[in-house]
Chain A
Amino acid sequence: MSGFPHRHLLGIEPLEPAEIQLILDTAETLREVLDRPIKKVPTLRGKTVINLFYENSTRTRSSFEVAERVLSADSLSIATATSSAQKGETLLDTAKNLEAMNPDMIILRHAASGAPHFLARHCRPSIVNAGDGAHEHPTQALLDALTLRQKKGRIKGLRVAIVGDILHSRVARSNLWLLTKMGADVVLCAPPTLIPPGIEAMAPVTYSIDEAVEGADAIMMLRIQRERMAGGFFPSTREFHIRFGLTEARVKRAKKDVVILHPGPMNRGVEIASEVADGPYSVILDQVTNGVAVRMAVLYLLLGGGSGEAAA
């Protein structure tokens, strides 16, 4: 396959397995640039990227910013806490005003599911979804897949347990799409209150973490998203930890060479015990490095190529 046929990256759901493969292969090649004495290549010189973040983020935003700088794109980041969104400007008005500054790409994080799709319909620049509500977070799933592929040599046939707050997790949804497209066996695990209805059509669901991690090649822990929880989804974080937290004893039920992923930020002592997060199976910091590589690949594939009309 040559070239990436999309102008936007809105989710994993619309991607073909070969397109996912291309992003991962490109990321693998680009990762080497981060080890060079001069961590900068001129590839996207003259391209402007706007990072528009309506929700808090440390990892995703800084990772996009690093990727943009390494590829020499000009970028600016707008955190809405200090922007005109506080004065009541709508998403579309903000985007139209930014569009008037002629950027080539807008990276959007928004609390509403479908916000990037909405921008893609109404704005000229390429749109990358950096997390929309509880819908999708495609670059996170891609960096998880890259990490899995590096550690296990493949994705097909792996047994992967996704454990935690699946109801509120866009990471879970993107990963579920990606892993099933790439042929992994996924099992989902959470208390019944944190399982979205209908999800069992995509992957088997269990309410027992012991059962979920049994024989797993990889365990993906999800963050308990307290900011999205108005009601009582579970009695207390202590009880959650006892019933659903990943402890050393539970890790032992998985395969010997199991890897443990977490998209961050972690709630230590809630969904994951500290000794597991810092333990030998944890690949959480590899995920961060791979996050930069995957975002470089997405920028390169969406902005690097031409229109497809070869000008020899």
Chain B
Amino acid sequence: MKGSTSAPAGYRERHELMDAARLSRALSRMAHEITERHPDPTATVLVGVETRGVPLARRLARLVKEASGSAPRVGSLDITLYRDDLTAIGPNPVMKGTDIPLSIDGRVVVLVDDVLYTGRTIRAALGELLDFGRPSRIELAVVVDRGHRELPIHADYVGKSVTTTRDETVQVLLKEQDGEDRVVVYEKVRAKAPSASAKRPR
């Protein structure tokens, strides 16, 4: 939904978690933490999880380059084929495709995603990634950790941790796809019956 920042169907905006400046500061800090832990960026691959993880990975790579002088390679992962709920989510999601540009054997892979919620997306991403090789280490960077984990998964680099209820949904809006940089918490509109096109919360 390019250019649209309206709430997902059945939800309304509750509050803004980050504006453009805060998001930018959070990403810079995360890039510095990545650089600190892995001083040689060429041994690191940033792999974005489709859809919003990919532009985030590109931004982090640029910021790592500013901090250390050289940029890590960037890949993308479309986890559709590895989902554990493919038959439960209704019509097939449209696939964006996976692109791992180099061998990940022996390298550090930092998975990048927008929101960490149940952990099931990351479980699927780990499964897919390990079919591409044997990284020396896999880490996870997310802009928002909103809790409610259903699996033993944690993030190594977090932009902001926030307490949410399951009735809420968190969206990271990005210039590249949404026309603006903003992180927003939405809440379910109660009176209305749940819309058939309601987005699955991540």
Contact = CB atoms under 8 A, between A and B. Distances in A.
Nearest to A72: B81
A235 interface: no
Interface string B34-56: 00000000000000000000000
Nearest to A305: B92
B16 to A, nearest CB: 24
A3 B81 contact: no
A38 B82 CA distance: 14
B87 A304 contact: yes
Contacts of A37: 131-133
B196 A305 contact: no
B88 A43 contact: no
Contacts of A304: 86-87, 92
B91 interface: yes
B154 to A, nearest CB: 24
A281 interface: no
Contact of B131 (A40, A71, A307, A312): A40
Contacts of B85: 311
Interface residues of A, number: 28
Contacts of A36: 131-132
B34 to A, nearest CB: 26
Contact of B91 (A26, A71, A305): A305
Contacts of A88: none
Contacts of B81: 30, 33, 41-43, 71, 300
B92 A3 contact: yes
A26 B200 contact: no
Interface in B74-90: 78, 80-82, 85-90
A113 B202 CA distance: 46
A83 to B, nearest CB: 30
B120 to A, nearest CB: 12
A310 interface: yes
A309 B131 contact: no
Nearest to B194: A312
Which of B81, B86, B87, B90 has the most A CB atoms < 10 Å from its CB? B81
B201 interface: yes
A29 B95 contact: yes
A300 B92 contact: yes
B90 A308 contact: yes
Contact of B200 (A41, A42, A309, A312): A312
A218 B3 CA distance: 40
Contacts of A33: 81
Interface in B89-139: 89-99, 127-128, 131-133
A32 interface: yes
A312 B98 contact: no
A310 B127 contact: no
A308 to B, nearest CB: 5
21 contacts: A3-B92, A25-B94, A32-B98, A32-B99, A36-B132, A37-B131, A37-B132, A38-B132, A41-B81, A41-B128, A41-B131, A42-B81, A42-B127, A300-B92, A305-B91, A307-B90, A308-B90, A308-B91, A310-B90, A311-B88, A312-B89
Task: List 6 tightest A-B contacts by C-beta distance, closest first.
Answer: A3-B91, A305-B92, A41-B81, A310-B90, A38-B131, A43-B81
Interface of B: 78, 80-82, 85-99, 127-128, 131-133, 196, 198, 200-201
Given A38-B131, A304-B86, 10 more contacts: A4-B91, A33-B81, A41-B128, A43-B82, A300-B81, A304-B87, A306-B88, A306-B89, A306-B90, A309-B90
